[in-house]
Amino acid sequence: MQPTQLLTPPAATERVTDAAIVAAVRAMLHFNPRVRSAETLVQVLDGVVTLAGTVRNLCIRQGAEQDARHVMGVANVHNLLKVRPAQLVPDEEIRQTVVAALGRDPYVGHLPFGVQVHGGQALLTGRVDTHFELERAGDVAAGANGVVGVHNQLAVAGAAAGLASASAPRNPDRNLVAQEAHEAGAHEVNNHLLVLNTDPRINHQTPVEHGIEA
């Protein structure tokens, strides 16, 4: 009878270093055509990414944060990017652009919205039928030229919360997934994966910092 062999458990997965996270975030931003030309500084400390610098519009700012959250080892993202449009756009012109964009959108164009703009900050008010419509309206407003921030104060109708509007066109992918998530009890849906670093160790090393070049 052969002696019993003791099996050594495999070593735990090593923690992703801050330097590796910086390199991965830089690569993600470089391959995103919306973000590539932005003047973005990437800083990482203990898996927490800080983005700083200036971008031309709000969509680029949001896209940079989403890209950073896709990187393995990222525990959180602090988005300090400032929106600075190439040229100053009057608030009334921005408001009209937002209203027109909402009216053209196939998902929320059938809904009435209140739109106010002050200093490039767009305020959305009114009622929608689903959480998807609430999020969609915010995304549409963020894409309007001159918008530097969106304050989404839309309310989801209580009687129809979580149910798809019968008159709204449906997307077989994003719309359905978001709808099912809300029906399962989710209060908000962000269709982007976030990988959390659960390593309990605390690293007090100096933050790793790199700039992004166009």
Residues 64-105: pLDDT tens digits?
999 999 999 999 999 999 998 888 899 999 999 999 999 999
Q: At what angle do helices 91-104 and 131-142 cross, to 10 degrees?
A: 140
Q: What is the pLDDT of residue 204?
A: 43
- Report which secondary-structure segment, H or E, holds 60: helix 58-69
What average pLDDT does range 101-126 have in this prediction? 96
| Greater pLDDT, 206 or 26 | 26
* CA contacts within 13 A on the Cβ side of 45: 7
Tokens of 175: 């719309």
- Pairing outcome for strands 48-55 and 76-83: parallel
Q: What is the pLDDT of residue 87?
A: 84
Of the pLDDT bands very low, low, confident and very high (cuts 50, 70, 90), residue 46 is very high
Contact partners, residue 12, CB within 8 Å, separation at least 6: none
Does domain 91-183 fall under CATH 3.30.1340.30? My reply is yes
Q: What is the pLDDT of residue 201?
A: 41
Give yes or no for residue 62 having a pLDDT over 70.
Answer: yes
Alpha-carbon distance of 52 to 177, in angstroms, equals 32
User: In this prediction, what percent of the chain has a pLDDT beyond 90?
Assistant: 52
Give yes or no for residue 195 having a pLDDT over 50.
Answer: no
Distance of alpha carbon 182 from the chain centroid = 18
The answer to whether 89 and 118 are in contact (CB under 8 A) is no
Q: What is the pLDDT of residue 209?
A: 52
pTM of the predicted model as reported, rounded to 2 decimal places: 0.60
The whole-chain average pLDDT of the chain stands at 77
Lowest mean pLDDT among 3-7, 109-113, 164-168: 164-168
Task: Report the 10 Å Cβ neighbour count for 134.
Answer: 21
Which residues in 182-202 are b (16+ Cβ under 10 Å) and which e? beeeeeebeeeeeeebebeee
